[in-house]
Chain A
């Protein structure tokens, strides 16, 4: 089955700095990679995703990159703000005739200091 590793487990930055969270996956059949943000006491919410036919996607201050050969994908947050503080989860999914079950990383607790 799929295995997703996520690093770092905790990331502390100053407001305005950039934050990068990295994930690796094991199953080359995975072709959909969502990122979720979980605020305290809430369920995870999708913030950005990328499919295997592209290498990069950007949405305002958030970007995701994918290296299929190396089975790496990363989340980049620029100009961080205190409200970005949350736990971020990466996931890998086989979304083309497979089971569509997201396998999640262990999460990164991002703390943005004002």
Chain B
């Protein structure tokens, strides 16, 4: 596939459970971003990976949230002990960071519902 792929597309989980969301970026894209979009809201930055540099975790809302990236490929966002306020669409994007061409390509998102 040529685009950013996210899985699952939908996830319903019980409060208190852990969830893992997966993102497959576009091949060759060194930068990867996770955003959260609550219903009717804007895109809230969570975490940024760029090559082998230490990730920018400044947007993670609590220590229940963590993310990993294997090299310049797949990333996993993990939410532990989910709460109802975690319900949102989680969007992943990738880009060829560097210079002035930094278009971020988004996946379709994972809709997380915590019940």
B56 and A43 within 8 A (CB): no
B100 and A51 within 8 A (CB): yes
B103 and A49 within 8 A (CB): yes
Write out, one digit per residue, whether chain B residues 33-63 have a CB within 8 A of any chain A CB (1) or not (0).
1010000011101001010000010000000
Shortest distance in angstroms between A45's beta carbon and chain B's nearest beta carbon? 7
Query: Which residues on B are within 8 Å of A, measured CB to CB?
Result: 4, 31, 33, 35, 41-43, 45, 48, 50, 56, 91, 93, 95, 97-100, 102-109
Report which of B48, B103, B107, B109 forms a contact with A101, defined as CB distance below 8 A: B48
B108 and A42 within 8 A (CB): yes
Report which of A6, A43, A107 forms a contact with B108, defined as CB distance below 8 A: A43
B108 and A95 within 8 A (CB): no
A101 and B108 within 8 A (CB): no
Is A99's beta carbon under 8 Å from chain B? yes
**In the complex, which residues of chain A have a beta carbon less than 8 angstroms from the beta carbon of B93?**
43
Question: Which of A42, A51, A100: most chain B Cβ within 10 A?
Answer: A100
**In the complex, which residues of chain A have a beta carbon less than 8 angstroms from the beta carbon of B35?**
104
A100 and B95 within 8 A (CB): yes
B91 and A43 within 8 A (CB): yes
A32 and B106 within 8 A (CB): no
A101 and B100 within 8 A (CB): no
B42 and A100 within 8 A (CB): no
